[in-house]
Amino acid sequence: MAVPATLWQPGMRITAARLAAKDYQAGVVSVSFTNQTSYTQPVTFPVPFPVAPVMNAEIAAGAGSTGRFEARPINVSATGFTLFILLTDAAEGAGTWANIPVHWMAVMPT
């Protein structure tokens, strides 16, 4: 199990968990919807952060209707976020996705 990175302080012991600690987490969400102009999906971090992280999300495909959408994280907390997919040009009409990968990355703020 990964643990969040800890800022080193005098007197701290070196442990395997601290050496393996990361200050970031990343993942991929498979998104599917039918005839939508926006879509939300909750995502839980594998390991909670001590505070809400800084985040980004990117659609990992550009073919078909995915080129008209953008992805971003909203409602970010220490335990997760909501993935928000939205159509960037309403004149184009609603879209349908089938198992489109959306990558996300969360980093501890400095």
Confidence of residue 79 (pLDDT cuts 50, 70, 90): very high
CATH top-level class for 35-107? Answer: mainly beta
Top pLDDT among 7 and 75 is at: 75
Distance CA 99, CA 110 (A): 34
Using the predicted structure, report yes or no on whether residue 19 has a pLDDT greater than 90: no
Contact of 80 with 99, CB cutoff 8 Å: no
Share of the chain above pLDDT 70, in %: 88
The answer to whether the CB of 29 falls within 8 A of the CB of 83 is yes
Q: What is the residue extent of each domain of the chain?
A: 35-107
Mean pLDDT over 25-50 rounds to 95
Helices (H), the chain: 16-20
What is the value of pTM for the model shown?
Answer: 0.80
| Better pLDDT: 56 or 23 | 56
